[in-house]
Structure 1
Amino acid sequence: MRIKKIKIKNFKCYAGTFEVLLNEGVNIIVGGNESGKSTILEAIHLALTGMLNGRHIRNDLSSYLFNLAVESSYVKSLATATPLPPPSILIELFFSGDGKEFADLEGDGNSDTVKGSGVAYKIEFDRENYGDAYAELIKTGGLKSIPVEYYSATMASFARKGITARNIPIKSAFIDSASSRFQNGSDVYISRIIRDSLEEKERASISQAHRKLREAFTEDAALKLINAKITAAAKISKKSVSVSVDLSSQTAWESSLMTYIDNIPFHYIGKGEQCIIKTKLALSSKKNGEATTLLIEEPENHLSHGRLSQLVRDLSSEKENKQVIISTHSSFVANKLGLENLVLLRQSRVVRIGELKSNEFFKKLAGYDTLRLVLAKKAILVEGDSDELVVQRAYMDTHEGRLPIEDEIDVISVGTSFLRFLELAKELKVPVAVVTDSDGKPEALRKKYVEYEGIDHIKICFDEVVDGGDLKIGNRPFNYNTLEPKLLKSNGLEVLAPMFGIKASSDDELHIHMHANKTDCALAIFSAARKINYPDFIVDAIAI
């Protein structure tokens, strides 16, 4: 029994309806900041537990849970003749598998109106109880946000029956090792993990030990003198005022104890060590051990390569009998846990590597360049190092010295694999410019990229002019239609030869030098004090 699909409507960054299919094993969600990776994990956990950020959401409803654009459209409509109804949030989890444990969850009570097993979590306007109050509020015209005080949160099965988390056979554990919430100096997250690891008798023993500590504390002679002084100074009727430790409940010890690592308070140790300890404790806790679905938020946070390797090994051992859903920016995590499990997320668009025609190529690729394309705001694809250096300098010369990456434009060397990266860019709608040589065959190049002609977020940049000459290198005619000859054509011998630190008496002499020293010449251009002219296809590419 696993989650096979999640649908999210109007929750946080997702306006309208968003859905993503999940593997039964590992799912690695990759996307840029604010792309919605964390929201997917939160939505799954909320639908299974009714909890968000460790708190029951029924008691903590907020308009900030709703998509901002949806809220804005709703509020604006209130000033019109046809106001929109109060928006709602819907999270649906579709389950795979069958058996007795799913019998009470099966039905067609879902937005797909198809029979299946699953749960639906709704945050919606409670018209039955608050219809009249809402109508009165609308008349006053003072509504500036979603009136969540008139909302209710409900959990139901696809059989249209109200349920609780206990009725759902799939259990989730949310692990966010980077979160830091402290209460009385103790990390709430790690304290909760330790608490969940203990048996009932062990928790009772700690509570008793804590009570004995309190009794010894209140019997201290110095404290008695202090409390007498406070009572005399307070003069509150005839009742005494004193200071002590909290014993108002059997679990008071949870908020007053502090976790130590080698006799050092937990929040004083390094962030990387905190993340490792939190994640390992979470994976080994009794509660999470019983979970069938692990939701892990960016496990690479604050970790060195070596410590990340250890953590990935632990995650790999946990994934055998569980469904694991991980959000990450790390190519190392993606590679180690399997690129075939990548879920690429961008602007509410989802692509799985396995669905691409070039999936075998990307599975064998190291992964870093794949993630660079997904995470970039825009990208310029080039063939090699020399092209990358020239494009970077051309961008700097026209953008006040800024590197492309400073404007979230990544220049990526992809060798001859332009078509494979373009397939990914097309599916995710990543704005991309390709910088390529025509090799004197512009018609063949146009035919090669015909599939991407007319796509507004993809540009294929090359020189349409075919140049020629008599130069031969060895027995082969020199190719005048690559980057280096085009740079010489745009600047001339008198500009480039001094920049490269050589004396050349003819263009062909410099052609030979640039052909044999492509990277060195590109580096000289990149580092030069003076600016040069760039061919039109380079200028076109950097205007992405």
Structure 2
Amino acid sequence: MKIAKVKITNFKCYEETFSLKLNDALNVIVGGNESGKTTILEAVHLALTGMLHGRPLKNDLTSYLFNLAAQQKYIESLKTGTPLPPPAITIELFFSGNSSELAELEGDGNSEKIKASGVVYRVEFDEENYKGPYEALVAAGELTSIPVEYYTATMRSFARKGITSRNIPIKSALIDSTSTRLQNGSDVYVSRIIRDVLEETERASISQAHRKLKEAFVKDENLQLINARITKAAKISQKSVSISVDLSSQTAWESSLMTYIDFVPFQYIGKGEQCVIKTKLALSTKKSAEATAILLEEPENHLSHARLNELIADLTAQHGEKQIIISTHSSFVANKLGLDHLIVLRDSKVTRIAELKAANFFKKLAGYDTLRLALAKKAILVEGDSDELVVQRAYMDANGGKLPIQDGIDVISVGTAFLRFLELAKALNIPVAVVTDNDGDPDALDKKYAAFKGDTSIRICFAPEVDEGDLKVKDKPFNYNTLEPKLLKANGLKALNAVLGTAAKTDDDLRLHMRSNKTESALAIFAAETAIKYPDYITQAIAQ
């Protein structure tokens, strides 16, 4: 039994219905900040449990759960005399698999009107109980926000029957290792171990030991003297006032426990170690052991690659048979878990690396920063390190000293794999400029990038003219149509000698020097106090 598809409407960042098909085993969701990764995990968990942020949502309704654009449209409509219906949040989960439990959830009570097994979680206006009061508010013009006090949260199966999480055979465990919902160090996680691991007799033994500590504490002579002074100072009727240990409930002792790691209180150990421990503790509970869907939020936080590798290996080894949905910003996580499972979110649209023609290329480059282009607002693709340095400096000179990344533009060195990265950029609708040498054959470049010629978000920048000369290197003609010769052509021998700190006597001497010292020359240009002139194709690439 697995989750085959999730559909989200009007929940947080998703206004129009967002649909995502899920793999049966592993799903790695990546995207920029505010792209909706966390919302997907929350929506899946909410539809299966009715819980959000550890609390039942029906008791915690707020207008902030609704998509902002949907809210604004509704509020504006109230001013027109023809108000829109109160907006509703809908989360649908379509299940796959064959079992008698799933059969009970089967029906056509879903947005697609198809026979399937699944659940629908809705936050909607309770017309049956609040139609009159709501219409009175609308008529009086007093509504300025979504009236969530008139809303109800419901969970129904596709068979159109009301259900609870107990009726759903697919269980979920949502793990956010960055959560700071801690009291007394790590009592949240200690309590989980106590509830799920200890037997009832063991719990009773701990409770008795805790009670003995309380009795010893109360009998201490110093405490008795302090309590006598407190009673005298308080003067509350004829009753005494004292301080003691909380035993107001049978489980009060749970909240007074603190976890120690090598005799150091949990909250004082490193953040990375905390993340590993919290995640493993969460996975070790009975609830997670029984869960068929593990939802993991950004496991890379605070972790080195070595510890992250350990955590990922543990996750996949222990829960390989489960459906796992992970959100991440880390190329390491994406590469380690396999790019076949990578789902990229951008502007509420989904792209899967496995579906690209260039999929095999990206899989083989497991060590590459795969997500750099996918997460970029804009990008400039260059061939090598020297091109990257020069383009960075050109941008800085044109934009008051700001690096491209400060404006959300990533300059990425991709070798000769421009076409593969352009396929990914086109699929994600990322504005991209390519900076490339014409190598003496501009017509070949026109043919190479013909598929992107009509795409307004992709610009191919290269010098249209072909330069020639008599210089040879090892009896082979020198290539005058790469970056370094073009820079010399734009600036002249004297100016470039001054920037590079060289004393070349002829243009050919400087051409050979720059050819043999590409990176050093580019570094000198990048760090120079004096700006240089750049070929037109570079200035075109950095133009926003």
**TM bucket normalised to smaller:** over 0.9
**For the Cα contact (< 8 Å) 1:181–1:187, is it kept in 2?**
no
Matches within 5 A, 1:266-281: 266-281=266-281
The answer to whether the 8 A contact 1:190-1:278 is kept is: no
Any stretches of 5+ residues in structure 2 without a counterpart? Answer: none
- Tell me which residue corresponds to 1:473: 473
Cα distance, 1:478 vs structure 2? 2.5
Task: For 1:94 and 1:495, locate their aligned partners in 2 and report how far apart those are by CA, in whole Å.
Answer: 67
User: Matches of 1:413 and 1:339 in 2, distance apart?
Assistant: 20
Kindly provide the amino acid, as one letter, of the partner of residue 406 in structure 2. Answer: E
Between Structure 1 and Structure 2, how many residues are aligned? 544
Q: Which residue of 2 aligns with 1:455?
A: 455
SS at match of 1:142: coil
Who is 2:43 aligned against?
Answer: 43
User: 1:289-438 to 2 correspondence within 5 Å?
Assistant: 289-366=289-366, 368-438=368-438
Q: TM-score, normalised by structure 1?
A: 0.95
Q: CA deviation at 1:184?
A: 4.4
Q: CA deviation at 1:126?
A: 0.8
Aligned counterpart, 1:210: 210
Question: Could you tell me which amino acid in structure 1 is paired with residue 362 of structure 2?
Answer: F
Q: Once the two structures are superposed, what CA deviation does each residue of 1:70-115 show, in whole Å capped at 9, x if it has no partner?
A: 2122222221222222111111111110121211111111112111
The DSSP-based 3-state class of the residue aligned with 2:438 is coil
Deviation at 1:190, TM superposition (A): 4.9
d(CA) in 2 for partners of 1:34 and 1:531? Answer: 38
Partner of 1:75: 75
Query: Which deviates further from its counterpart, 255-264 or 202-211?
Result: 202-211
Write the letter of the residue equivalent to 2:345: L
Q: Which TM-score applies when normalising by structure 2? A: 0.95
Change (3 A) 1:535 1:295: same
Of 496-505 and 281-290, more deviation after overlay is shown by: 496-505
* Alignment of 1:7 onto 2:30: no
1:509-524 matches, cutoff 5 A: 509-524=509-524
Matched letter for residue 16 of structure 1: E
Query: Aligned residue for 1:175?
Result: 175
Q: What amino acid sits opposite 2:348 in the alignment?
A: S
Question: Structure 1 residues 200-209 or 355-364, which shifts more?
Answer: 200-209
Cα deviation for residue 420 of structure 1 reads: 0.6
Match of 1:506 in 2: 506
1:158 maps onto 2:187 in alignment = no
CA shift at 1:222, angstroms?
A: 4.1
**Residues 454 and 189 from structure 1, CA distance in 2 versus in 1: closer, same or farther, beyond 3 angstroms?**
farther
Structure 1: distance between partners of 2:197 and 2:144? 45
* Aligned counterpart, 1:439: 439
Select between 224-233 and 86-95 the one with higher mean Cα deviation: 224-233
Q: Distance in 1 between matches of 2:470 and 2:422?
A: 36
State the distance in 2 between where 1:133 and 1:450 align: 62
Aligned match of 1:97: 97
User: How large is the Cα RMSD of the aligned pairs?
Assistant: 2.0
Distance 1:269 1:52, change over 3 A: same
Kindly state the Cα deviation for residue 412 of structure 1 after the two structures are TM-superposed: 0.7
- Measured after TM superposition, the shift of residue 491 of structure 1 is 0.8
Structure 1 contact 384–414 (Cα < 8 Å) conserved:
yes
Bigger shift: residues 530-539 or 516-525: 516-525
Three-state SS of the structure 2 residue aligned to 1:354 is: helix
520-529 or 250-259, which moves further after superposition? 250-259
What displacement does 1:219 show? 4.3
The one-letter code of the counterpart of 1:365 is L
* Contact 2:497–2:503, Cα closer than 8 Å, also in 1: yes
Q: 1:260 to 1:394 in 2, by over 3 A?
A: same
For the Cα contact (< 8 Å) 1:187–1:266, is it kept in 2?
Answer: no
Q: SS of 1:369's equivalent?
A: coil
Which deviates more, 135-144 or 191-200? Answer: 191-200
2:108 maps to: 108
Amino-acid identity (%): 70
Q: Is it true that 1:488 corresponds to 2:493 in the alignment?
A: no
Whichever residue aligns with residue 46 of structure 1, its letter is: L
1:338 Cα offset (Å)? 1.2
Stretch of structure 1 that moved more, 6-15 or 459-468 = 459-468
Output the amino acid matched with 2:409. I
Larger displacement relative to structure 2 (474-483 or 53-62): 474-483
AA aligned opposite 2:491 = N
In structure 2, what is the equivalent of residue 542 of structure 1?
Answer: 542
Post-superposition CA distance 1:355-397 (Å, at most 9, x none)? 1111111111125432101111211100111111110111111
> Secondary structure at 1:80's aligned position in 2?
coil
Measure how far apart 1:411 and its partner are. 0.8
SS at match of 1:320: coil
* Displacement after TM superposition at 1:221 (Å): 4.5
| Superposed displacement of residue 48, structure 1 | 0.9
Task: Note if contact 1:191-1:259 (Cα within 8 Å) is conserved in structure 2.
Answer: no
What per-residue deviation string (whole Å, max 9, x for no partner) do you get for residues 192-224 of structure 1?
355333334433433343344334444444444
After TM superposition, the structure 1 stretch with the greater mean CA deviation from structure 2, 367-376 or 30-39, is: 367-376
Q: 1:152 to 1:261 in 2, by over 3 A?
A: same
